[in-house]
Structure 1
Amino acid sequence: MKIRKINNSERLEILKGDLYAYSRWTNQDLPRSHLTAINPEEVLAAEIDGKIVAALQCFSFQQSVRGNLKTMGGIGGVWTYPEYRNQGCVKALMKSAFLEMRMQGICVSMLTPFKESFYGALGYAIANATHEINIPVSSLENYLRLPNSANLTCDRIPATEVKDILSNFLYENLRSQTLQPHSHGLVITNFTYDQWWHLHRQKLCVVIKRERQPVAIAIYAIDSSGNLPMRDRQIEISSIFWTDIESRDRLLQFFASHRDQIHSLKMPVPLGENVHTWLSNAGRLDSSMTEPWMVRAIDIVGALHGLPIACEPFTFALSDPYCHWNDGVFRICSDLNGDCSQLTVKRYGNCDIGNLAIDFRATIAGMSALVYGTQRVSELLQKQWITEINSETCERLEKCFTPCLIYNPFKF
């Protein structure tokens, strides 16, 4: 088996495998736009006897981790032809992806698993899913009675044209800590324009502006086909963000204005959000959970450094069988940066360890769970992802690395 990058002429082979794994198979010629959405620099392929039999894509994104932007490798498009499964193809691809991410300066990774136990064995920790609700548009009618704010305007434009608008909006409001409904786990894409167009070619975007500056954004698809009964006509929001209650209400007012055209609205919301406070006479809502995310630290120093956490020093020993650069002893402590405490990290060389007192030992899945706040420390102890820790240190660790719910509506 050989693991390698692909070249431009092999993009069709990757697309065929992707279609076999995730779509309805077709022998028809595929539009050129499908090929241009594949960036050879992001693809790793497994080759056996000169034939590509498996592949994955590793996208370079930015991700908000506890409010601190990190370089993130988003693993997607993982497939293997059935006749080559159970031969270690995906495991070999993932090991190569870890090295690729390391060389690119990527410190954390995220994916949607086809099998949780498979990626768990590679050091990924399970995180939460996104909550999706389906609400009747009639439950938004109260927003139509709100006066139109003179300082808010509404633009509706093709989603293919908002790549930079959305990225700048997310960056600016993460920096000012005004992004709502939630920012932990949020992914900002670095997709090429071809990739963005391919993904959003059937979607629209509504942008709410105040003094010509975006203050709320939603990307959505609408199906109000005349041959559909009214009950089946729907708007599906894939991403929605706002900066204050006024801008959120203006977004909901926009969607409420479709009441004579569609019946329901599907939208992502963070877990724990009480959406009934937004609605009127909604009754019992239809809701579902997306597939859960899984997360991993690729470079533990980069993953921890700069997190807005105040803590006394901890010294820990880390084991990572797939990323050898994470094996060793590390010390974290907080430095004051302005009004905010941020973590700094030091790695000890073998000659420096000596009789150094270690506060605890951790697996890479355990440290990944701490970084992202996917589980309580007591759960990590029960799984033995953290060991050799006394009760006092455990209490301190729990206060520093509080659990956090991920909200990332962008699927890749």
Structure 2
Amino acid sequence: MSEITIRLLKQDEVLSVLRPMSAYAFRATPPLPEPAEWQKYYPPAGEASYFAVFEDEKPVASAASFPMTLNIRGQLYAGNGLGVVSTHPTGRRKGYARQMLSSIFAQLYEQGVAISTLYPFRESFYTRLGYTTFTQPKRIRFAPQPLQPLLKKSWNGAVELLDIAQGYDLYQEYIRTRLPQIHGMGLFSPNFKLPWRDKNGQWLAIARVDGTIKGMMTYKISGHGGTLEASQFWYDDIQGRYLLLEWLARHIDHVQTVEMILPPFERPETWWPDLNVQVSSIEPPLGRIIAIDKLAGVHTGAGSFSARIHDEYCPWNNGTYRFATHEGQLQISPSATADCELSIQALTSLIYGTNEPATFALRGWGDPSTELQTVFSRMFPLQQPYLFETF
């Protein structure tokens, strides 16, 4: 029988273990990327933890864990992003990925992490591990010509253009003002994205009014007559939005198409007449509760209930809890009785506001009564979480 070991990698092991495994899983190969090229896309030392499964001392599965701060219904929590989860073909269909993730969950719990997020290769694989799916971000495309009338408007503001290397500190300062405002949003530390800064492959358009930043957009241009690809489009108010749209209007003789990534709650089809926005969806992230007891303080509506929670992969969460709103915030305490049974997927869905409670029984997530479903909906209204960070 093979000897199986799951452990945290030392820094000098990361390159030799993750490079072949993650490149084989996620890139066009062969050849494998050169070490220097591969390292360009990974965060600096100290900004990630790397794990691997060894079968008779040979690595057969690996993953990376990235610390982040997450907004859950207006409260900020210690969170995590799991990335580059990959298994060598010789280790597939043996349960190694599940075992590795269980081991990572235990370490996250010991570190005080409340929530884990990831981007899946297949949603159903991770929903079985306790994750629930977010609403999908949007990718939109439109021709900039209909924005031409904006060039004749007076906006009492201006847009400054920098490359991202020049404007990185301003960008980080601004993006952190968004975190407390957007449910589901996660942010890495500023150091995490230093490779992105150093690559310097994005323009940064900064909308200001009377010296105050009102919005930012990062983008690149594929070439004359090509596409302006805006990877981020942020604004504080209407003035900030239209200053940035007016900036796009300045490119009507430069590019044929604008492509933009937006949160699921944006309504770009209403921004301007004749824009004829084409909307498609992007792969959604997933989230899961790591530690129920860390989630006290979430902003909730009036109500209370008790539930017996089942969590196969984070067994410390198993138990019966009372969830009650006090002065607009969630309180969590042990309970001797339970009004219903809920899986960790159901509780995560309530926290994030992603699924109607009436579907829980259908999904195999529990047995709440119709009356309890009404309580759930009042305490945890449906939301459209937006993770933002990609990894």
Same fold (TM over 0.5): yes
Instruction: Tell me, yes or no, if structure 1 residue 324 matches structure 2 residue 318.
Output: no
Residue 366 of structure 1 and its aligned partner are, at CA, apart by 0.7
Q: Which one-letter code corresponds to 1:116 in the other structure?
A: E
How far apart, in 2, do the equivalents of 1:36 and 1:361 lie? 41
Q: How far does residue 393 in structure 1 lie from its aligned partner after superposition?
A: 2.6
Which residue matches 2:174? 169
| Residue 34 of structure 1: aligned partner | 40
Show structure 2 runs of 5+ residues with no match: none
**1:3 and 2:6 correspond:** yes
Change (3 A) 1:370 1:63: same
On the 8 A contact 2:179/2:185 being kept in 1, the answer is: no
Matches of residues 278-317 of structure 1 in structure 2 within 5 Å? 278-283=271-276, 285-303=277-295, 305-317=296-308
SS in 2 for 1:396: helix
Partner residue, 1:154: 159
Deviations 1:108-142 (A, max 9, x none): 11111111221111111122211111111113222
Identity of aligned residues (%): 24
Deviation at residue 373 of structure 1 after TM alignment = 0.7
CA displacement 1:171-199 (0-9 Å, x = unmatched) = 33554x5xxxxx22222222525654378
Distance 1:142 1:184, change over 3 A: farther
- Aligned-partner Cα distance in 1 for 2:152–2:199: 32
Identify if the C-alpha distance between structure 1 residues 342 and 166 changes in structure 2 by more than 3 Å, giving closer, same or farther.
Answer: farther
Match runs of 1:30-69 below 5 Å: 30-31=35-36, 33-34=39-40, 37=43, 39=45, 41-69=48-76
Q: TM-score, normalised by structure 1?
A: 0.86
Question: Which whole-Å CA distance do the structure 2 matches of 1:126 and 1:411 have between them?
Answer: 15
Q: Deviations over 1:300-332 (max 9, x none)?
A: 1223x1111132222211111111211111112
TM-score normalised by L of structure 2 = 0.90
Give 1:180's aligned residue. none
Classify 1:20/1:243 alpha carbon distance in 2 versus 1 (closer, same or farther; 3 Å): same
Q: How far, CA to CA, are the matches of 1:164 and 1:372 in structure 2? A: 30
1:68 and 1:117, CA in 2 relative to 1: closer, same or farther beyond 3 A? same
Residue matched to 2:111: 104
Q: May I ask how many residue pairs the two structures share in their alignment?
A: 384
Deviation, structure 1 residue 27 = 4.7
Contact 1:144–1:257 (8 Å) recurs in 2 = yes
Indicate the residue corresponding to 1:132 in structure 2.
139
Structure 1 SS opposite 2:147: helix
Equivalent-residue separation in structure 2 for 1:238 and 1:74 (angstroms):
20
Q: Any residues of structure 2 matched to 1:202-221 within 5 Å, and which?
A: 202-221=201-220
- The answer to whether the Cα contact below 8 Å between 2:116 and 2:287 also exists between their aligned partners in 1 is yes
Equivalence map 1:244-393=2 (5 Å) = 244-271=237-264, 273-283=266-276, 285-303=277-295, 305-336=296-327, 341-348=328-335, 353=336, 356=337, 358-387=338-367, 389-393=368-372
For residue 31 of structure 1, give the secondary structure of its aligned residue in structure 2.
helix
Change (3 A) 1:146 1:359: same
Cα contact 1:318–1:328 (8 A) shared by 2? yes
C-alpha distance in structure 1 between counterparts of 2:202 and 2:265, whole Å = 28
**Structure 1: distance between partners of 2:123 and 2:325:** 33
Query: Structure 1 residue 95 and structure 2 residue 102: aligned?
Result: yes
